[in-house]
Amino acid sequence: MKSANNIYLIGPMGSGKSAVARRLASQLGLEFHDSDEEIEVRTGVDILYIFDREGEAGFRKRESAVIAELVELDGIVLATGGGVAQDPDNRRLLAANGIVVYLYTSVAEQIRRTRKSRHRPLLNNGNPAEVLQQLMDKRDGQYREIADLLIETDGRQVASVTKQLRLEVQALQVDAAGREQAK
C-alpha cells in the first residue's frame, strides 16, 4: 500500500516544484527533500557540472539512485527534477510509495519563469522555447501516467498553489484513512 504521508511533486522546469514542496512541507510538518539538491550535496558539485562531465546519461543514473533512496523515507514532501518521469523505474517507485502530484504548467508559462535561469543545462543550448515544447510533448503523458492529482499553476503564486494542494492532499488522506478503518 502506498503511503499517504509522502507527497511527491513532479512536473516540468519552472512549474514551482521546489518552492511549493518547501512551503507544503513546512505547513504539514513533513520533511522537505529536493532530488536535485540531494544530488548536488552528494557529489559536491552543481548539476551543470555533472551534465558537463558525465553528460545527461550520467546525471540520470545519479537521479535514479537518489530517487530509489528517497522513496524509502516516510513523511516527506519531495520536489523532483523535471526529467524524473522519463525513467520507468522512477515512475514505478514514485507511484508505489506516495501521493504523486503533477504541477501542470503551460510551455508559455515555463518560458516566462525560466527566462533568467542559468542553472538548467538543458536550456543553455539551443532555443529554450523549442526545447521546453519538445520536452513537454514527450513528458506530459509520463507525468499524467503516475499523477494522483494534477494542479494547474499558470498565473498563480506559490501560496495559492500550495493551499489548493494541501486541501486536495488532505482529502485524499481522509479517504485513505477511511478505507483503512473500513477493513
Order of strands across the sheet that contains 7-10: 31-34, 76-79, 7-10, 99-104, 149-152
One character per residue 152-171, x = contact with ligand S3P (rule: CB under 6 A): --------------------
Helical ranges in 47-127 per DSSP H = 47-70, 88-97, 107-114
Cβ closest to ligand S3P, residue 4 vs residue 84:
84
Burial label for 167, CB within 10 Å (0-12, 13-18, 19+), is: exposed
Q: Is 82 in the site for ligand S3P (CB under 6 A)?
A: yes
- The correct pick among 4, 122, 146, 161 for binding ligand S3P (CB under 6 A) is 122
Distance of closest approach, residue 136 Cβ to ligand S3P, in angstroms? 10
Query: Where does this chain touch ligand S3P (CB under 6 A) — which range of 77-85, 87-95, 105-113, 167-175?
Result: 77-85
Binding site for ligand S3P (CB under 6 A): 13, 17, 36, 47, 81-83, 120-122
